[in-house]
Copies of this chain bind each other. A is one copy, B any other.
């Protein structure tokens, strides 16, 4: 194991100079720095993590708590975990996993033992137990998602309400007087917060713009293709030609299938917008207008905020809502004048 002493000896300097040269926290003459870097390079020097934590009061580790519920959509969840890990590494941080039963105890433990510099919270529930813990620990905690009670919390999330507004606006602009929302699973409307927020946004704007709105959740816990089909067909039977889909890929597939069966051309006879989908919508049978939920965006922002909490002192708690973006693909009728 190469230590800083060996690097110092090899470069003919003191260990403090090595430390400063490598961290850049103190100016070091160009040529000694080069000598030190060369020595570190050839010796394969990597500072000891424990020593660095102890002396530097920085662990360079973030905890990521992810309580895996039975109804968790695995691909979406993985996308968020991955995006967080990538964003963290880019800033020089590793991710320590805190799973299920460990959530509360785990958060307290890693905070009390100074194992991590910050905690990132995934899969946030409306009445999340981690909210209280976040308030009680000194470790900066960033929620990726919004709990109901956001007092004193730092959160990052897509602005789902604005996404709902945006979707309805586009459909109304296209002249639709009625729209149907194919929503998330029933259980998610109770266990999560974002489906309700999108729904609220859609409802609000539909009321504002005199769009008659109907909606259905897509199955009890798992998505139910038959149910999706039935509700899509019922909407079509009612003369509705505008759809907002806030659901996983399968649901999109079913809707497109039904439209196809009825000979309704996307962007001509019928309009479809995929709202807050976190998967790659290009895998669908047809191009669809989307208001995507980009895990990389949320997670990167969360990591940035975490880092800021460490670098600056007294960063006030804040709710960061990410503005939705509309990506047109021709699945919505052109606006009529």
Residues of A within 8 A of B (CB): 1-2, 44-54, 59, 61, 64, 68, 72, 74-75, 77-78, 81-82, 85-86, 89, 94-102, 106, 109-110, 112-115
Contacts and interface: CB of A to CB of B under 8 A. Distances in A.
A279 to B, nearest CB: 11
Given A44-B112, A49-B53, A74-B75, 7 more contacts: A46-B109, A49-B59, A52-B113, A89-B99, A94-B97, A94-B110, A97-B97
Nearest to A78: B74
A112 B48 CA distance: 8
**Interface-centre pick from A77, A96, A114 (highest chain B CB count, 10 A):** A114
A114 B75 contact: no
Nearest to A115: B49
A97 B115 contact: no
Across chains A and B, which 9 residue pairs bring their CB atoms closest together, nearest first?
A50-B53, A46-B112, A50-B54, A74-B74, A49-B115, A74-B75, A46-B113, A95-B97, A49-B113
Contacts of A109: 46
Contacts of A51: 50, 53-54
Nearest to A75: B74
Given A54-B48, A102-B89, A68 B61 contact: no
Contacts of A89: 99, 102, 106
B48 A114 contact: yes
Given A53-B53, A77-B78, A89-B102, A48 B96 contact: no
A85 B99 contact: yes
B94 A96 contact: yes
B100 A61 contact: no
Contacts of A96: 61, 94-97
Contacts of A100: 82, 86
A45 B113 CA distance: 8
Contact of A97 (B2, B46, B81): B81
A222 to B, nearest CB: 9
A49 to B, nearest CB: 4
Nearest to A112: B46
A94 B96 CA distance: 7
Contacts of A45: 112
A44 B229 CA distance: 55
20 contacts: A1-B112, A1-B114, A48-B113, A48-B114, A49-B53, A49-B115, A50-B59, A50-B114, A51-B53, A52-B113, A53-B53, A53-B54, A54-B54, A72-B78, A78-B78, A85-B97, A85-B99, A86-B101, A94-B96, A96-B96
A115 B99 contact: no
Given A75-B74, A85-B97, A96-B96, A113 B68 contact: no
A150 B322 CA distance: 48
A77 B46 CA distance: 31
A112 B41 CA distance: 12
A1 B59 CA distance: 15
